[in-house]
Amino acid sequence: MNKADVVRFELEQAENRVELCKVCRVFVFIHRSTGTGRSSVDIGVNINPELVDRFCYLGDMLSVDGDADAAVENRIRIRWNKFRQLVLLLTNKDISLIVRGRLYSSSVQSSMLHGSETWPVRKENEVTLQKAEMRMVRWMCGVKLQDRIPNIGFRERLRLEDRISLLQQNRL
């Protein structure tokens, strides 16, 4: 066992999770905070690890709890950025709803589903994803919440697949 394996074993025994970021060759320690203070780790002279509650690794947010909340928030943020880049095309009345739906599905929806096969998705995460998606779909159809039109027919107008079934397909 080399020194990195020894350190990883000792920290895992102390209920910390250790990830080695191969890109920047540093250790990032995800720890469970105990009480009010943060614990410190002394590995050696030249190594100073940073203790964090969550971090981005290969485009996916990892958190201490191991849940998907941080990843879902990050993916929704990325999805909104992609939607805003394409908003002129997605809201253009000269383009048919079917073509707009295909564009949305191929670019915006696929950016949300990236990495979703590793998420431990809960009902709250599904609701959050559905709310964000329906805001975008309503914007594409030119319908406001004040119009009081139910969400049922919007996916059918754009010929979009159900988001929950897409998440399940990615997990298989």
115 and 32 together in one domain: no
> Looking at the 3D structure of the chain, how many domains does it have?
2
Q: Which domain holds residue 15?
A: 3-52
Whether pTM > 0.75 for this model: the answer is: no
158 and 79 together in one domain: yes
Angstrom CA distances, 76 to 34, 36, 61, 130, stand at 30, 31, 12, 10
111 and 32 together in one domain: no
Task: Output the CA angle 52-56-61, nearest 5 degrees.
Answer: 95
**pLDDT digit string, tens, across residues 106-121:** 888 888 777 777 788 8
**pLDDT digit string, tens, across residues 42-78:** 555 566 666 777 777 777 777 777 778 888 888 889 8
